[in-house]
Amino acid sequence: MSHNYPTFDPLDWQAIQPHFDALLAADIKPATARDWLQAWSDLSSVLEEATAQIYREITENTADSEADARFRRLVTEIAPAAARAEQALKQKFLALRDYTPTGETSLLHRRLQTEADLFRDENVSLQSELRLLDKQYDEIIGGLSVTWQDESYAIPQANALLHSADRGTREAVWRLALDAYLGRRQDLNTLFLTMLERRRRLAANAGLADFREYQWRDMARFDYSPADCMTLHGAVADEVVPLATELYRSLADGAGSGAVRAWETSLESPWMTTMSRHPAPIAAFESVAVLEETGQAVFNRVDPRFGDDYRAMRDGFLDLEARPNKAPGAYCNSFPVSGKPYIFMSAAGTVANFTTLMHEAGHAFHFAESIRHQSLHWNYNGPMEFCEVASMGMELLSSPYWSREKGGYYSEEDARRALAEELTSIVFFLPYMAVVDSFQHWLYAEAPAEVDVADIDRIWCELWDRYLPGIDYSGMQAQKETGWHRKGHIFGVPFYYVEYGLAQLGALQVWRNALQDQERAVAQYRSALGLGYTRSLPELFAAAGARFAFDRRTVSDLVSLLRRQLDHLGV
C-alpha cells in the first residue's frame, strides 16, 4: 500500500493538530478502517522520524544547546499533545463495531487496546519528566573522561586502553575510569531515586500494584510473565554460572594470575573480559573507515540484500566514531519516512566495536526487511525480544566471514580467536543479564517504599556475588557498588534487559541451524525479520528456526553447544 506522508513543522503543534483532528472527525467503517489506519500510520511516521532525528542530534553531541532546546520542546510540548491525540484515535478505532482484526491488524489491535487501557492523562507529564531525566543520565555519562599519559580520553576511548597487553596499564586506566564514575555517584543516586519515584507514580495513577505490572503491560509482554523470568534466572544460575566460572578460572590460570580482577573486564560491558591467553591482543582497526568498509564486505557475504541495505546507510546514516560529549552506548534507530535505519556507536579500535557493528546492523536489517513487507509503521521491527534475536543472530551469522580470506578483516588465527571471544562473551553475558534483570524485579516489585541507595547498592552486590563469582572485586567495594550506575538500561529503559537473555537463546538456536546449513538458516532468519510485529514471540522464533523458551533444559542444551564449540576452537 502506498504512503501519503503529510508535511508540517514537527515542533509546531498548531501545524500538527489539524492532521489528528481530521482523522478523529473521519467517518470510518469496517470497510474503510484499513485506509484510515494507514493515514494514521503515515502521520505517526512523520512524527517518529522527527523524534529520531532530534534524538540523533542530542546523542551525537550532548553539549549541543540548540539540539537540547529542540529536544526539550519535543518532550514537553509535542509529545504530550501527541500522546493525548493518539489516545483519542485509539479509542475511536477500538470502538469500531463489526470490525474483526485479522492478519496484520490482529496483534496490533491487542496492543492498541492494552495501550488505551493503560493511558492516564496525569501520566503524560510524568513521562515527559522521565525522558528529560534520562537525558541527564546521558549528559553525565557522556561528559566523563580520564587523563592518561597527558591525553584526555572519553570513556569509550578509555575502554580501548583496557585491551593493552600491559596489565599495569589496564589496572591504572580502569581505576581512573571508575574514579570518574564515582565522582558523579551522588548525582547518579539522586537522579535514579527521582526516576524511581516518578515510575511508582505512573503505576499508582494507572491503578496497578507496582511499576513492574505497569511496565509489563506497557511493553506488551503477552507471551511470558515475571515468573518465567525467575525460571530463566534459575536456569542461568544452574547451567551457565558454572561454565562462566570455569572459563574465568581458565583465563586467570592461562595469564598466570590468581583471579580475574575487575580491571580485566570492559568498562561498558562488564561481562566481557579483556584478559587473554595470548600475549598480543587481536589486531585493532586502524580507523572507523576500515571498520565501516569491513562491515560492507561481511554483510555482502552474509546476504547480498543486507549488503545493499548497509550500503544505503553509509550515505549519512552511520555515526561510528568515538569522541568527547557523545552519548554512551550504541543503538539503531528507525527513520520510517526516509526508509532507512541509523546506527550510532563509539568505535575506538577494539574487537568489541566490530561485534557492536554486527549487532546494530542486525537491528538495521530487521527494520529494512520489515518495511519492505509491512506498511503500517506499528508493524515495523517487532517485539524487543525478537529485535534482539535479529541483532544477536547477525553477530553469529556473520562469523564465517570475519577473516580476510572470506572478506573480513582478521587473519585466520585472529578470526578464530574473535569467534572464541564472541562465544565466551555469551557465556559471561547471561549471568550479567540475570543480575540486571533480577535487580530491576527487586527495585520495582519488592523494594520498600523508602528504599535508599545503601539498600540498592547492597542488593546489586548480592546479585553480583550470586551470578558473577568469577570476577574478583576484593578491596574495591565502592567500585563494585557503582556497577549499576554504568548500566544505562537501568536508568533509561527499565525492565529492558531480559530481552537480551531470551534473544540470546533464540540467536544460539539460529546459529546452531547455520552450523548445519548457513544458507538455509540465513534465509529463515531474513524471512522472520520481514514479519515485523505481525506475529507473537513463539511464532517469530519459530519462523527463524528457533523455539521461544527459557527453561533449564533449553539453557542446558545451548550451554552444551557453547562448550562443544569452545572446545573445538581450543578454548
Say what the pTM is. Answer: 0.92
Residue 349 lies in a domain: yes
User: 45: part of which helix (H) or strand (E)?
Assistant: helix 33-60
Using DSSP's 3-state secondary structure scheme, residue 316 falls into: coil
Of the candidates 4, 74, 81, which has an alpha carbon nearest to the alpha carbon of residue 46? Answer: 4
- Per the structure, the complete domain to which residue 222 belongs is given by 101-268+289-571
User: What's the confidence (pLDDT) of residue 279?
Assistant: 62
The one-character DSSP state at 472 is: E
User: Rounded distance, CA 410 to CA 407, Å?
Assistant: 9
User: Rounded distance, CA 78 to CA 109, Å?
Assistant: 25
The grid coordinates of residue 135 equal: 537525558
Residue 440 lies in a domain: yes
Which one-letter amino acid corresponds to residue 450?
Answer: E
For position 510, which CATH number holds?
1.10.1370.30
User: What's the confidence (pLDDT) of residue 257?
Assistant: 79
What confidence tens digit (pLDDT) does each residue in 71-114 have?
A: 999 999 999 999 999 999 999 999 999 999 988 999 999 999 99
User: Rounded distance, CA 465 to CA 482, Å?
Assistant: 14
Residue 494 lies in a domain: yes
Whether residue 152 contacts residue 71, with contact meaning beta carbons closer than 8 Å, is answered with no
Whether residue 223 contacts residue 407, with contact meaning beta carbons closer than 8 Å, is answered with no
Residue 22 lies in a domain: no
The grid coordinates of residue 226 equal: 515475571
Residues whose CB falls within 8 Å of the CB of residue 211, separated by 6 or more in sequence, listed in order: 199, 200, 202, 203, 444, 445, 494
Residue 89 lies in a domain: no
Output the tens digit of pLDDT for each of the chain's 571 residues. 689 999 999 999 999 999 999 999 999 999 999 999 999 999 999 999 999 999 999 999 999 999 999 999 999 999 999 999 999 999 999 999 999 998 899 999 999 999 999 999 999 999 999 999 999 999 999 899 999 999 999 888 888 888 888 889 999 999 999 999 999 999 999 999 999 999 999 999 999 999 999 999 999 999 999 999 999 999 999 999 999 999 999 988 877 778 889 988 887 777 677 766 666 778 778 899 999 999 999 999 999 999 999 999 999 999 999 999 998 889 999 999 999 999 999 998 888 889 999 999 999 999 999 999 999 999 999 999 999 999 999 999 999 999 999 989 899 999 999 999 899 999 999 999 999 999 999 999 999 999 999 999 999 999 999 999 999 999 999 999 999 999 999 999 999 999 999 999 999 999 999 999 999 999 999 999 999 999 999 999 999 999 999 999 999 999 999 999 999 998 7
Residue 388 lies in a domain: yes
Residue 176 lies in a domain: yes
Residue 24 lies in a domain: no
User: What's the confidence (pLDDT) of residue 499?
Assistant: 96
φ and ψ at residue 148, rounded to 5 degrees: -130, 120
User: Rounded distance, CA 300 to CA 138, Å?
Assistant: 34
The grid coordinates of residue 193 equal: 531515586
Q: How many CB atoms lie under 10 A from the CB of residue 168?
A: 9
Q: Domain tally for the chain?
A: 1
